[in-house]
Amino acid sequence: MRFHDDRRPPPPELLGLARRWRTERQLGRLARLPAAAAGTARFAVLGDVEPSRFWIWRRLFNREGVFPRQMAAIRAAPAAFVVQLGDMVEKGRPERYARFLRQLRRADLGRPYLTVIGNHDRSRPNGSSHSTLYRRLFGRANYAFDHAGTRFVVLDSSARRLTAAQRRWLRLVLDAPGRKVVFTHMPPAHLGLWGGVGPAHAIGGFTGGAREFSEIVSAARVSRVYMGHVHAFGVQDYRGVRYVLTGGGGSALFPSGAADRFHHFLAVECGPAGVRERVHALDGRSFEIPAAPVILPAHDGPRSWRRFLGSTWAGA
Ligand SMILES: [Fe+2]
């Protein structure tokens, strides 16, 4: 597959690879599942999976083959669908997407796989960029759907901001009774909890419209906001909403302000009794996220969930 200019149509081979993974098609599959009529939604959430463009980072902070292993574990999980929180490719180029889509095909997941756009899925991971290729391959970058009594909203924070139009749309789609869950690539930076290495991660998330975002999800009584971007795990309850950082899908585990850096995915159950998540680490161990509120002070250094996990977790 040959390189092409940013804005030219994707090569036909790539369009062919992507066709079955288009969001509209995945949502159609999801709507036809018997689980759609149930009262409890069961799904998996997987964070950043791009292994890093630079071999030295892969060598120092990553290992081979995390994504296929995560996919194999998700196949065994009680999940009707999977949401991947963005940064599926190192950079939004045709050959990178083609490689990822072939991996996805090989994973033989057997259930809908929905994507959130991350900054790496854009034409450039940092700086000015566009999302043309992602949208040509998958469809809209902001979308919502209902499944098993819950409204799910996927929101594009890949450009490190939410526009006024996005916020208006978010208010509208969250103006519904019942349970609501939001997926977005970056944490809102004002939570101040999850920093990282270099200018891309130093502020730990998106800034433009971030406070308004929190006001909107609090007013709408959203149950969960799931986020990636920072390659770690963390939980924070903020103004009635639980924010769960789950960025350990398979990307390099860079040193960052977050203490809990390990590869994992979440298996989530969202029903009348509330939302419960089980964190599945790559080594097969798992734990449930406790329901008790978590209020962490911002900017006071690394913080750890190991107190919930026991000393055997220390080497994870
Ligand atoms: Fe990211």
119 CA from centroid of ligand 1 (Å): 5
At position 6, the amino acid (one-letter code) is D
Q: Which long-range contacts (CB under 8 A, 24 or more apart) does 32-35 make?
A: 33/80, 33/112, 35/80, 35/147, 35/148
207 CA from centroid of ligand 1 (Å): 14
Position 5 scores a pLDDT of: 56
Position 302 scores a pLDDT of: 42
87 CA from centroid of ligand 1 (Å): 6
**Interval 115-124: pLDDT, tens:** 999 999 999 9
34 CA from centroid of ligand 1 (Å): 34
Ordered structural domains, the chain, with CATH = 12-315 (3.60.21.10)
For the beta sheet containing 150-155, the strands, ordered from the edge strand earlier in sequence to the opposite edge, are: 143-147, 150-155, 179-184, 224-227, 241-246, 233-238
Residues in the 5 Å CB sphere of ion ligand 1:
87, 118-119, 229
Position 68 scores a pLDDT of: 92
269 CA from centroid of ligand 1 (Å): 26
229 CA from centroid of ligand 1 (Å): 4
209 CA from centroid of ligand 1 (Å): 17
Position 304 scores a pLDDT of: 44
Cα–Cα distance for residue pair 287/278, rounded to 1 Å: 6
Which regions of the chain are under pLDDT 70? 1-6, 59, 193-203, 255-259, 296-316
